[in-house]
A and B are shown apart, each in its own frame.
Chain A
Amino acid sequence: MNEITVLYSNTIAGDADAVVENIQSALDANINPEKILNEGMIAAMQEVGRLFEEGEYFVPEMLIAGRAMQAGLNLLRPHLLDSEVGKVGKVVIGTVQGDLHDIGKNLVGLMLEGAGFDVIDLGTDVTPDQFVEAAKENDAKLVGLSALLTTTMPNMEKTVDAFRAAGMADTVNIMVGGAPVTQEYTDKIGADGFGQDASRAVSVAKDLLSRFED
């Protein structure tokens, strides 16, 4: 097996130590760092997302795969051209005000990172203003809101409204997700996209960003 294939399977297995070793030997073998990133890790995280979507993989497996990927990225980053890191786009994510649940949001963050996004994670209990500020500051075109509680879900709407009030409705796309969130609710509050789960959030994110390319 070549380095990339081994890296691919170790990323899926979530073996961080092995992933770091594989990347080192791939670099030693003069394999193109972009190839290591794209074919070794991004492809692996895509497969992890598919396994999760199909109910084959569970949360801990997704988390350790994500951690393995992050460990690998730390080693690989200095070797990548600046333009390659987070080249897909910038995304600001966070759990809305009043809500401390972060598992879903963290999974989305890992999957987006695994798909090549530059992820700015604001954590939990994030106010509408904090989202707006962070999007401005980082010049992010995409914002992801998470909520687990039916009682904090209305703060998604407030956040969407805050972007509108800041005159950013046309320059920033907002995607939402979390246990109580539905497509219907997404449409109702005027958000731009709905991620059914962490894996599907990635395709929604890519789709939303592509709107800016037209």
Chain B
Amino acid sequence: MSENQKTILSFKDKSVEIHRDGPTVMIGERINPTGRKVVLAALKEGDFEMVRQDAIKQVEAGATVLDVNAGVPGADEVALLSQVMQEVMSVVDVPLCIDTANPQALEAALKLYEGKALINSVNGEEKSLETVLPIAKEYGAAIIGLCMDDDGIPATPELRLKVAEKLIERAAKYGIPVEDVVIDPLAMTMGADHTAGLTTLKTIELIVAEFGVNITMGASNISFGMPDRKYLNSTYMAVAIHTGLTCPITNPLVTEINTAVLATDLSLGKDEYGMRWIKAFRKRKKAQE
């Protein structure tokens, strides 16, 4: 068993600790045009009001880190990502998770960011390692490492563990410490393979036992193609947190997911005196009035 690692992210004077003994860190996923046609249309028009609202609402709902993605087809991502980050930073003061596959956009975003960001993401492909790791090192950022490589997404937990190992080793070579590598075991949809959820859980188990690193994932993918997705997502969230997930990229505005995270934290002794649970209850009650 490896000791649990602590990842510290920051924005200006605010910092967030991600640790298996602490509260689950919700990384808000909403600022992303993929699959959200209204956001896509707004960004194309240069309308950032929705981005600002998404930032504020997610933080109010308990997200302590926000993912920022500006992948709009045909747009200049370098300029757009920086612009979206500026808009987000003008309304909330939480650490950001910079979500881009474009190295120039990533670098420009890191340049204007004050603090220690989380990069989403690097993967085991040679090209990705060689491009993203030096940038992460230069700007002192933490990184999300996806368990896939030049051969695609490995089918078994053991093979995904191998990719995680490679990611951690290669990061270390660039001087990025293990605690700054957050691993994404990859959640495939149970709609196409009913054992996909289990594969991801087993992957988490292996990686946590071996490296103790923090674990993230875009957990909503798990229910793609299925009805009543919020129930699947929230239950899977609870099980995954128990297995070792520490910072899911998720939608905190969905009550089922939000309550699942809080209830799991309390069940696992991560919510002292149940204060976060009670506070969230009062907030929901007030919102209903």
Contact = CB atoms under 8 A, between A and B. Distances in A.
Contacts, number: 55
A103 B153 CA distance: 14
Interface residues of B, number: 22
Given A100-B148, A100-B152, A180 B74 contact: no
Interface stretch (B10-18, B203-211, B223-231, B244-252): B223-231
A58 B72 contact: no
A127 to B, nearest CB: 15
Contact of A59 (B33, B40, B74, B225): B225
Contacts of A180: 33-35, 37, 40, 73
Contacts of B91: none
Contact of A151 (B35, B37, B71, B191): B71
Contacts of A166: none
Nearest to A52: B225
Contacts of A149: 34, 71
Nearest to B32: A150
A75 to B, nearest CB: 25
Nearest to B225: A59
B19 to A, nearest CB: 31
A31 interface: no
Interface string B130-150: 000000000000000000100
Given A60-B194, A103-B225, A180-B40, A151 B101 contact: yes
Nearest to B35: A179
A130 interface: no
B35 A63 contact: no
A60 B34 CA distance: 23
A124 interface: yes
Nearest to B70: A150
A154 B225 CA distance: 25
Instruction: Identify the 9 closest CB pairs spanning chains A and B, nearest first.
Output: A59-B225, A59-B191, A151-B71, A150-B71, A153-B73, A150-B34, A103-B192, A179-B35, A151-B101
29 contacts: A58-B225, A58-B226, A59-B191, A59-B225, A59-B226, A60-B192, A60-B194, A60-B225, A60-B226, A63-B192, A100-B152, A103-B189, A103-B192, A103-B224, A103-B225, A106-B192, A148-B34, A149-B34, A150-B72, A150-B73, A151-B34, A151-B73, A151-B101, A153-B73, A154-B73, A154-B74, A179-B34, A180-B33, A180-B35
